Structure formats: structure tokens, C-alpha cells
Chains A and B, each alone.
Chain A
Amino acid sequence: MDYSLLSSILHAILVASTPLVFAGLGALIQERAGVLNLGIEGLMIVGALAGFATALAGYPLLFSVIAAAFAGASLAAIFALLVLRLYANPVATGLALTLFGLGLSALAGAQYVGQAAPQVSVWTIPLLSQLPVVGHALFSHDPLVYLSILMAALIWWFLKQTRAGLILRAVGENHTSAHSLGFSVMGIRFLAIAAGGALAGIGGSYLTLVQTPLFVEGMTAGRGWIALALVVFASWRPFRVIAGAYLFGSVSIIQLHGQALGMSIASQWLSMLPYLVTIVALVLIASRANSNHAAPGSLGKTFKESR
């Protein structure tokens, strides 16, 4: 295998993984606040459409990303209202959000079928991009790839190093205690849901702006669900979300290249691999339930203020 092919494979892995990084981080920040949101898929596709429509209207990438984040956050706000204020069942509401997002984007996106977004410019990092093999693969990308890594670092820093992050985690671990300490469980969860929605929206827009780049309905094709699995796989840690997403992206890209190179491993096995790894990770987590790999204590539980 020559180096230029290796370099293109690495490059493709980063591109294929980036939507999962954003969406996974979006799910993570919600779950760390104790909110289980199964609507990631719906948030992604709404973001995908918003970003695409903005790019098509001739606005620069930054605006497309902001539009995608705003669309994701708006849809997530509906979820927040239903779950936090009206005490709707979060699982059912999340599923409904997915279906709603898919339907809404199909309806509003029908006019964009057959159109193509302008190509996103590449930010080549000077010097580093001159390195052999990894130069092109790692340092010659669209800005969103770098943003996704920056986001993971930012979220890690926020959760680990800031007081606000500590409060968010407290709400996720035990909302009753957090409430009795005087923190606004509702307010913090609302913000977490909105931020998570924005990230999922950006993840979706990466599909329509860079990876594919066109819009057709249903084009997220299950990536929202993979993002949810990634968070569990990552045991609710931001950098492990990146690792998981890249592992997933690697397996899916390498199996495509393997086929084209004529490798004889059945492609079905390779397609299964990421999911198998997730199941194994879940089993390991469950068998060490008392360790610090467990889910946030109040995850998915409805909080009602006692009056």
C-alpha cells in the first residue's frame, strides 16, 4: 500500500467521524445533566437542512454552522419544554422528536433536492501539513474538523474545571440534592439540552456541507443512534467520544477500502464490528457498576419540584 493511499484513508476517516463527534458530544452534555434525549437523529437532520439551505443561499460557512446550531437548539427547546415543564416521558418524547425532525426536514427540504452546496474551503495548517502521510491526512481539513476536536476539549474543560460544569454534573448525578442546594435543575437542564441540540445540529450540517454534500430526506441514516451508543461506549467522557467516533469511522472507512483492495474478510463482519465493540463495552461497564464508569445517577429520571 502506498503512502498517498494511506494518507487519503486517514483523511476520509476524519471526515466520516466528524458528524459522530459533534452529535456524540451533543448527547453527552445532555446526559451529563441527567437528560436522556433519543431525538439526536431528528436534531441532526434538521441541522443538516438548515446548514445546507444557508450555504445554498450564498452565506459563508460560519453562518451555515450558526444556522444549523440554531435549528438544532430550537428543536431541542421543544423537547426541553415537553420533558422539563410538562413532565412528558423522555423516552417517548425523544423518539417523537426523531420522527418529527425527519418529517419536518423532508417537508421543508423537498425544494432543495437536486441542488448542490458550494464546496467548503480547506484550512491547511502551515508546516504541519507538509509532514509526510499525516500532513495531508490530519492537517488539511475544513474548519469544522478542527472545531469538533476543540469542542471536545472545551467540554472536557467545562465539566472538569469550572464551577458551572460541576453544578451541571451535580444535577445529572442527583437532581434532588442539587435542588436542595439551591440550584435550578430546570434551568441547567434546559441550557444543557439547548447546547446539545446545537451540537447535534452542527453534526448534521457536516453531512450536507462537507461529507456528502447534498440534501435528501432521511440522509442521516441512523447516525444519531450511533452517537447515542458512542456516549455509553465512551462512559460519558468527552475525549473518549472522539476516540469512539474515530474508531467507528476507521472501521467503516477501512472496510470500504478493504473491499476495493480485494481483501477477503466478509464485509458484513466489518459492518458489525463497531456495534459489537459497543455491546462489549456495555457489558464491561455493567460488570463494574460501582466504578466511576457508570451513567449519571439521575439519567432519564423526571424531576418534579416539590411545592
Chain B
Amino acid sequence: MMNIRSLYGLGCFFASLAFVTSVSAAEPTKIGFVYVGPVADAGWTYEHDRGRLAVEKEYGDKVETVFVESVSEGPDAERVISQMAADGANMIFTTSFGYMNPTIKVAKQFPNVKFEHATGYKRADNVATYSSRFYEGRHVLGLIAGKMTKSNTIGYIASFPIPEVVRGINAAYLAAKSVNPSVKFKVIWVSTWFDPGKEADAAKALIDQGADILMQHTDSAAPMKIAEERGIYAFGQASDQAAYGPNAQLTAIIDDWAPYYVRRVNEAMNGSWTSTDTWGGFDTGMVALAPYGKAVPNDVKAMAEEARKAITEGRLHAFTGPVNKQDGTPWLKEGETADDGTLLGMNFYVEGIEGSLP
């Protein structure tokens, strides 16, 4: 029921809206972040948030950052992103693969807002994409795993069969195989990015089936904790997880988004921002490794460091032929390296990995 007082209230509300818009020109650049997990996941989202904090530290009062965490991939994401844009964000980072279509859709409605979507492949004039060449890190992990496994069985906890995850499995497997021809990978797909209970159950299942080193492509530290309890080894995911596995962690791939976020925010502020596709690896600092665990012998350490250096300097590519696809069809010829297009759309296992993609 609309009476005089509520009309008055409504008027005040619109007046205040107008006020907010009028002063916004002098306000700091507002940057929004949409996260798929909680900031405290000690993994994927945690590292994106460290990137956000680096932006705040670099630009101080000139920027204002906001974030929404634990946003599920789907219709919810679209609502959150458009709400953020409507609330006056100038730039929005959407930090999970599943936000791709929502981001593109919302970007059409807000042509003046700059969008940055992580790990996707759809771009627009105001949507840039960025990702890291995690597979370079996976290569080094694979070498260490291949050298250190006693049971010749590596357990791999995977989330969803998207190219990024499949690429990681292939890269790690090829590297492990190159130093240990009898190595086997057991892969479990848990169909979630974040469910510590399920990730722990998967870790136990892999260990019960003989795995003595775990790799994961999910977001919680639960597998690391289980590895520590059972006295085997594991690699941290997205972030240094040594706190959960002081003895278990051999090393971890760290996603360092700070250099990219700081650079892109600067470009947005000085007007030089354009829609680009960035795919950085060891060379850009976007992929880093945690300190090696005390269980890693010196010769393995030296081998891992050499590989990391070679990749950084461009002397080594994680996908170098000869490599066949799982069904035996040739993919890369002797000495040939994979092109980015195939890597970005990778939807097949390489030869030697058992099981099929879900």
C-alpha cells in the first residue's frame, strides 16, 4: 500500500542514488572479484584473494575492491556478477571456468565495465581472459612423482573433465613416464571443486589401491591431510599446503595472480586496457613452486630445478613428441611441441593412461 510517507521515502531513495552516481567520478576505481570457493579454502580462491590484496596494497586509496565468495557456477553467478556491475564496479574478475557464459552475458549488458575471466576461452570487447600454464608446474611434479614413487602408482584426484584438468593429468603423466617407464596413474573424478569430505574419501580410496603419491586438481587441503596421516606423499594444489602436510608435501604449484592483477588494474586505470588473452607460465611468475619438502632427495631436487629452468627459458615444452593419444592415434611427431589451440581444447588422454574421460 503506497501512502505519502512511503512515496517520500522512495523519493529520498532515488535522490540518494543520483547523489551516489554524481560523486562516483571522483571515487576510486572499484574492482570486483567473484570467487568459486571460500577465501579460506587454502587453495584456489585463497590465491586469487592474495592477488586482490596485492592490488589494494599497490594502489591504496586509488582502488576499492569488493568480492563475493562461494558463488556456485550457474545462474547464481550471473546474478552476482550483474549485481556487482550494477553496484558500480569498473572492473570485475570472475575467477572460475564455470563463470564463462554468465560473464559473457553480463558483459553485454554492461559495455562500460571491464571483465576478466579466468581459465575460459570466450572473449568480447570488454571481456579479457587469463590463465596460467599450470601444466608447466604439473610437468615438474610429474618428474618428482615418477622418481619418488615406490609402488609405481600415482593417485590423481580430479574435479571436472575440462581441458585445464585433462591437460594437467596428461602433462604430469608424460613427465612421470619419461623418468619411470613403469609408472601408472589412477584417476578419480569427484565432480566437485570443493568438498573436503569427498576429496578425503577419494584420497583414501587411492591410497588403499596402492598409490603412494597423490596429486589433486580440487581446491581443499583434505587430500594433503590424509596423505600426512597415512604417511605417504602429496603435492599441494594452487597454494602452499605444507601446514597440512609438513612431512607429506613434496612441493606445490602456487598460482600467483598478483603480477597479472596489478598490471591489468593499472591498465584499466590509465585507459590502456584492451581485451586480451593471457596465458602465463613460469616465465611470467604466474606459476611458482613451493619450497621442496624434506623428503625430496637432492638429485631429484636438482632434476626438478633443471626442468623448471628449462621451461622458464623456453628450452623445454611439457608436451614434446613423440606422443600418441590414448587410442594410439599419433598426436605429436618426434620433437614436435603442442600448439596452444590443442592444449586449450584438450579433451583426450595421452597413450598409457588407463580409464576413460567421464
What is the interface of chain A, defined by CB distance below 8 A to chain B?
5, 8-9, 12, 16, 19, 106, 109-110, 113-116, 119, 207, 211-214, 216-223, 252-253, 256-257, 259-262, 264, 266-268, 271
Contact = CB atoms under 8 A, between A and B. Distances in A.
A282 B354 CA distance: 39
B206 interface: yes
Contacts of A264: 355-356
Given A221-B196, A252-B198, 12 more contacts: A12-B205, A106-B38, A106-B40, A109-B40, A213-B229, A214-B244, A216-B38, A218-B38, A256-B202, A257-B208, A259-B189, A260-B155
Contact of B205 (A19, A219, A256): A256
Nearest first, the 5 closest Cβ-Cβ pairs linking A and B are: A8-B208, A221-B195, A256-B205, A114-B243, A113-B40
A110 B40 contact: yes
A207 B38 contact: no
B205 A221 contact: no
B56 to A, nearest CB: 19
A216 B208 contact: no
Interface in B190-212: 190-192, 194-198, 200-202, 204-206, 208-209
A214 B222 contact: yes
B38 A213 contact: no
A262 B222 CA distance: 23
A267 B189 contact: yes
Given A110-B40, A213-B225, A218 B187 contact: no
A32 B40 CA distance: 38
B16 interface: no
A257 B244 contact: no
Contacts of B166: none
A214 B196 contact: yes
Contacts of B186: 260, 262
17 contacts: A8-B208, A19-B197, A110-B40, A116-B243, A116-B244, A211-B197, A212-B196, A212-B200, A214-B196, A216-B220, A217-B40, A220-B197, A252-B201, A260-B188, A260-B205, A262-B354, A264-B355
Given A217-B38, A260-B205, A268-B358, A211 B192 contact: no
B221 interface: yes
Interface string B314-358: 000000000000000000000000000000000000000011101
Interface string B154-165: 010000000000
A19 B200 CA distance: 14
B225 A216 contact: no
Interface in B174-193: 186-192
B73 interface: no
Given A5-B209, A214-B244, A268-B191, A256 B201 contact: yes
